Structure 1
Amino acid sequence: MFVCQALLVSFLVSWTLPFVLLSAESVDKNVDPKKVVKIGVILPAENSYPYSLPRTLPAIEYAIETVERDPNLLPGYTLQINTNDSRCSDTYGPLAAVHMQVNKRAHVFLGPSCEYAVAPVARFSPVWNIPLLSAGALVTAFRNKKRDYKLLTRIQGTYVKAGEFIYTISRYYNWTKIGLIFHDRSHAPNVMRSKCFFETEGIYVLWKERYKIRPWHLTFNEHHNKSDIKKILKEASYHTRSKLHLFPISRSQKR
């Protein structure tokens, strides 16, 4: 319990600490194996991701040092970090977890954080009895704790929470019809949905649950020069009565 609390803090401060690379097998051979708590960190090695190994490992080290300095927290135990590169992939993320489970290198998983990487690992973890903590897994489907994601703990606000925020504002202004306009990729098989899709899904699902109606929505490709924003907004005016048209902004748009 205390280890989990310390590691939760580590995620929150991960982007503020310098990079320190930790050895995956640095435990003293004289230490009793039964007194070793193995922490399996499954995150992308590529530093462009917000929760990458280079950004997060220093914070995890800081959290472990905090635990080890307190004689009341896990006295006599050694905390060991083992890492694997998830590549933010729905293939390599699960393989990294399987590798750790087969080789007995994790009593708890930190990550993956990318939606498609964490989903299968979070489904495996109850079978292996290995809890999973993630700064990702924000998608609505991860609410299902009774069946698929029993040992998943998410440590920050989810997209459904954003939906509750929009719902609260809408109730205050008596907005009952909204339009959801967002960037998405092709709907072809094996093509991952966009981050904008998942962000907007939280609003869509909550709206459908509370009002028992499906909000009008329209997708466009922000990378396609022929996207006609004026035409999209005109169509939105035919289906909605409020001034609330939601455009989740991607990184490329912010630049």
Structure 2
Amino acid sequence: MTDFTNQTAIVTGGAQGIGRAVANRLAKDGARIAIWDRDEALGREAAQEIGGGAFACAVDVADWASVEAAMKSTLDTTGRADILVNSAGIAGSNGPLADYPVDEFRLITEINLLGTFHVNRSVVPAMTAQSYGRIVNIASVAGKEGNPNASAYSASKAGVIGLTKSLGKELADKDIAVNCVTPAAARTRIFDQMAQEHIDYMLSKIPRGRFLELDEAAAMIAWLCSKENSFTTASVFDLSGGRATY
């Protein structure tokens, strides 16, 4: 079902976390991986470990010029962009909205939402020209339900859901699927940005009674990236262990 032979997959935030797990899975199934990550050294290390012609581009998704340059480099290297998995993002600190630092709220929005816009905007022309593409944006169950003391993160991920639905409808007459997933928390380095109280809160809301495993996320995302996913677009796929109420 997930044969990606001769396909190029761009994975933002692909040096670690869900992005790295997805990059590993897509490469295993034949894709050539372009890791777009702000941490250039970690991205190059990941590309070397993945192999199969994988390469890394240093990218700040919040900076349109940086994204444009990465897209040009990727097309110069591979000639095509079949898959985008947009996993780059930050959680930010936890605190009530009335006290939340204005500059930090802006930064989280710029990376999580504006960054998603930049990356999607950069790949759509290439996918349209080749009459094929699969885009998966990583949102969050927080974007559906809103986590207390995480207004910036929740709002930015809600925006990712809305952007995905909009773009999916724009491209629905083409063989370009645009979907997103809404994971519950997984144990990644993003936990380093969160208070333990907030981590405990998130776990308490998951009926499965545990956090998401990275390979579980990669399995669902791989199918959404495949040719088998030929009909569903502008949709949201749950990875919340039963937490989501819609």
TM over 0.5: no
Q: Which of 1 and 2 has greater Rg?
A: 1
TM-score by length of 2: 0.27
TM-score by length of 1: 0.27
Task: Report which of the two has the higher share of helix.
Answer: 2
